[in-house]
Amino acid sequence: MSDKEKAEACEKILERIRREILPLIDKAINDDTVYFENPHLIQCWSKKNCTHAKCSLLGKEAVRCWQTAGTYCGGLAQGNFVDKHRNCTQCDVFIEACPTLVEELGEYLNNLFYLLRMQKGLAKNNAERIEYLNRELLSSLANLDNKNREIQELVITDKLTGLYNRHYLLSVLEDELFRCERKDYIFSLLMLDIDDFKSINDIYGHLSGDSILSELGIMIKEVLRKYDRCFRYGGEEFVIVLPETDMTIAWMIAERLRKQFSQKNFMLRRSETDSPESVSRTVSIGYTTYQAGMTINQLLEVVDEALYTAKSGGKNQVVRSNEF
């Protein structure tokens, strides 16, 4: 071949590269389906007279065996594209598919596209997996937060009445005293006790007594404002914290509780065989308003003294503390 013929052949190759190869690179940026179309591809199983039944390409139209995992070249199982690429590009099946530099460049470009798209798909799958795991994590954290709140609620709640317990009362009173120290803030405290409650347990049994305590808890919730808080202080005694409440409002709330409870009738049985009897009880209530300098213990002692006065003075009444 003369120099002129060689130059003409090179020019043809370059022209094909410009026409067939370079445009693919630009198209592939936005199109994952772009491939160099090679008319010289041959089927490896046909070329090598392969009959290995486990080969993933046996009898199929697919021709780029170097991009297909699970083939059995030479009777040996082949791995994925990355593992087998080097050997496959030296195979006569690949070589015969690339009679000129254009086809060879095209196939190498196809391999590059394939690898990049495989990595892109893997990255997408990983991103979706991470997003899924993030959603699962957020959901788990939300569930954990809800469970923690439920547990916290159980810790501070009296199981029988559904009101807060005595332990939580001390924490609430600490907060109330702290508010009083920081600004012009007042709050009042009620302490109430069911009159002659022991006789209920003695005559009708402790289950009947528990039912009355439970009913009182429900009634208190209905009477109080949404920001008031009530606690089962012990036995049949209850303490109610009334934020932003002076003596007058405290007395009105206490009176409402006293009247409503005294008007309620409970149907109780002395035994399983006895007919139910209508039974009512009353409550005695002591109340006070926080005064500057008081400690929690002093506040509880003052309201307890008011309750004692109500009990010893005839019961079924509301008595204000003398400490104000």
Residues 174 and 309 in one domain: yes
- Does residue 324 register a pLDDT over 70? no
**DSSP letter at 151?**
H
- Region 206-224: mean pLDDT is 93
Which single residue is written with the structure tokens 């309750």?
307
237-243 and 229-234: which strand pairing? antiparallel
- Region 302-307: mean pLDDT is 96
What is d(CA 236, CA 165) in angstroms, rounded to the nearest whole number? 12
> In the structure, what pLDDT confidence band is assigned to residue 323 with cuts at 50, 70 and 90?
low
What is d(CA 115, CA 119) in angstroms, rounded to the nearest whole number? 6
Residues 173 and 120 in one domain: no
- Does residue 122 register a pLDDT over 80? yes
**In DSSP terms, which residues pair with 194 in a beta bridge?**
283
Q: Is residue 247 part of a domain?
A: yes
Q: Is residue 261 part of a domain?
A: yes
Q: Is residue 69 part of a domain?
A: yes
Q: Is residue 131 part of a domain?
A: no
Phi, psi of 191 (to 5 degrees): -130, 125
Task: With 0.75 as the threshold, say if the pTM is over it.
Answer: no
**DSSP letter at 265?**
-
Residues 167 and 113 in one domain: no
CATH code, 258: 3.30.70.270
Looking at residue 288, its pLDDT comes to: 96
Detail the DSSP E strand segments found in 236-297: 237-243, 266-268, 277-279, 283-289
What is d(CA 73, CA 39) in angstroms, rounded to the nearest whole number? 23
Q: Which one of 92-96, 135-139, 204-208 scores highest in mean pLDDT?
A: 204-208
Containing 24, the helix (H) or strand (E) segment is: helix 22-28
Residue 27 tokens read as 């198209």
**Selected catalytic residue, list 103, 107, 176, 236:** 236
Residues 182 and 120 in one domain: no
What is d(CA 204, CA 3) in angstroms, rounded to the nearest whole number? 122
Phi, psi of 121 (to 5 degrees): -65, -40
Which has the closest alpha carbon to 287: 250, 312, 243? 250
Residues 29 and 105 in one domain: yes
Which has the closest alpha carbon to 271: 224, 207, 197, 180? 207
Task: Note the pLDDT tens digit of each residue in 84-107.
Answer: 777 888 888 888 888 988 888 888
What is d(CA 23, CA 145) in angstroms, rounded to the nearest whole number? 56
Residues 231 and 278 in one domain: yes
Residues 76 and 198 in one domain: no
Sign of the CA dihedral running 49, 51, 55, 59: positive
Is 11 in the active site?
no
Alpha carbons within 13 angstroms on the beta-carbon side of residue 27 total 13
Residues 64 and 164 in one domain: no
- Does residue 46 register a pLDDT over 90? no
Residues 116 and 181 in one domain: no
Residues of the domain holding 29: 3-126
**DSSP letter at 66?**
G
Residues 73 and 171 in one domain: no
Nearest 5°: CA angle at 190, between 188 and 196?
170
State the total domains in the chain.
2
Residues 121 and 173 in one domain: no
Q: Is residue 144 part of a domain?
A: no
Q: Is residue 36 part of a domain?
A: yes
Residues 178 and 111 in one domain: no
Which has the closest alpha carbon to 292: 191, 184, 172, 173? 184
